[in-house]
Every structure is written in C-alpha cells, then in structure tokens.
Amino acid sequence: MIGANVFLVGFLLSYLLLFLLFLIRDLDNPFGYYENESSEDASLKPLEDALADLEARVALEQAAVAPQG
C-alpha cells in the first residue's frame, strides 16, 4: 500500500514539474513565430501595422510642433 502511494506522489510531482517546464518554455515565446515546428503560429501583422501607425502619428506631431522657418 505504501509503495503505491509513493509511486502516485512521485508520478504527480514528475507530471507537475514537466508541465511547469513546458509552460515556461511556451511563455518564453508565446506566439512561436520563429519556430518552424510550432503550432501556435500567429501573424505579427497587426503589431507591425500598429507600430507603423504610431510612427506616422509621431512624425505628424513632430511636423506640427517643428518651427517653420
């Protein structure tokens, strides 16, 4: 009976540690964009579009604030 309990606790602890290691690996690169074998590929286009829009707005603000002369 004690052997079965030790086996179960060891199995659960091993499972938990492996789960945490895979979770940390996934959190390190959540989109998996640069990994060929990743199934979590997500397009970075919305982020690139937002960055381009922000840069355009900053350029417009700088042009409006810059002295004419």
Query: 24 is written with which tokens?
Result: 């940390």
Distance of CA 35 to the CA centre of its chain: 12
Q: In whole angstroms, what is the distance from residue 22 CA to residue 54 CA?
A: 35
Q: Where are the domains of the chain?
A: 2-65
Q: In whole angstroms, what is the distance from residue 41 CA to residue 38 CA?
A: 6
Mean pLDDT, residues 23-45: 71
Has residue 69 got a pLDDT over 60?
A: no
Quote the DSSP letter at residue 66.
Answer: S
Residue 31 is which amino acid?
F
Has residue 43 got a pLDDT over 90?
A: no
pLDDT at 16: 97
